[in-house]
Amino acid sequence: MIKSYLMVVKQDEKSQNIANILKEKLNGILEYNESEPDLIISIGGDGTMLYALHEYFHLVDQVYFIGVHTGTLGFYTDYLADEIDELVADIKKGEYTINKRAVLDVEVIDENGTAQYYALNEMRIENPHYTQVLHVYINEEHLETFRGNGLCISTPSGSTAYNKSLGGAVIHPDLEVMQLSEVAGIQHNAYRSLGSSIVLGKEQTVTLTCDRFDGVFIGIDQYSYNLKPFKKINVSLSSHSVQCIQYRPLTFISRIKRSFIS
């Protein structure tokens, strides 16, 4: 039973106004709780939802997420700014389904230990300055030595984001898989990698190693960090998932259509 909520709001005037109106309308229906909410409402865009997720990842197993978009509709947002009354009515009615969204576990292992990250869209290793060489292993078996700008490993939710721009497949979010896609891979007679995306499952871990680290960075959703020399990076599907609450039916196909086709 959902009793409490908190809001994560984009720092623009429109989003702040919508948040104030929503807070007023939810008065007496749900309690505002900063530390242990049942529901997190993001108000802004897909980036705000990603921010909310990272900010409250420690609650991910016990909290539901929902998004209100204050611009055009996004991928993680079910309501528009002018649909606040519908959202309040739906919360009051209390009929919903939960869609679990896969998350990636990313371990960066160096001499000092292991740094752990979680990604809802994708993790990527990229180098805008030099050709990046990456040795790719699947369950410790060597797949290829990649050369190019980098590699991107995405979740099904992230398959419609950066992965899609890389020519990767759009994957239904009900599938528990991850997709490895190339960023400008070099393909010629001296160097060759797979050249297409590869979809992997729960039983697989992708391990990346490399020999040269100048200019290389790691991207996790909307964040990026310079990478210090690392021994290896392990990427696998996490045992955690993000629980997106859905009050009204909105199929994956209709999300794709409204975002990319019509």
> From residue 194, how far is each of 114, 165, 180 by CA, in Å?
29, 18, 10
Residue in 12, 38, 46, 90 annotated catalytic: 46
Using rule CB under 6 A, residue 121 touches ligand NAD: yes
Using rule CB under 6 A, residue 122 touches ligand NAD: yes
Please pick, from the candidates 15, 70, 99, 157, the single residue that binds ligand NAD as defined by CB under 6 A. 157
Using rule CB under 6 A, residue 168 touches ligand NAD: no
Contacts of 159 (CB under 8 A, 6+ apart): 168, 169, 170, 171, 179
Vertex 97 angle, CA 119 and 5, to 5°: 70
To ligand NAD, the closest distance from the beta carbon of 168 in angstroms equals: 10
Please pick, from the candidates 165, 187, 196, 224, the single residue that binds ligand NAD as defined by CB under 6 A. 165
Nearer to ligand NAD, 2 or 73 (CB): 73
Of 155, 98, 145, the closest CA to residue 122 belongs to: 155
- Footprint (CB under 6 A) of ligand NAD, residues 29-68: 45-47, 50
To ligand NAD, the closest distance from the beta carbon of 166 in angstroms equals: 8
Is 90 an active-site residue?
no
Using rule CB under 6 A, residue 160 touches ligand NAD: yes
Using rule CB under 6 A, residue 5 touches ligand NAD: no
Number of H helices, E strands in the chain: 5, 16
Do 160 and 150 form a contact (C-beta atoms < 8 A)? no
Strands 79-80 and 64-69: parallel
Binding mask 204-223 toward ligand NAD (x if CB under 6 A, else -) reads -----------------xx-
- Classified as helix, coil or strand, 153 is strand
Tokens of 30: 């749900």
Task: List active site positions.
Answer: 46
Binding site for ligand NAD (CB under 6 A): 45-47, 50, 74-75, 121-122, 157-158, 160-162, 165, 221-222
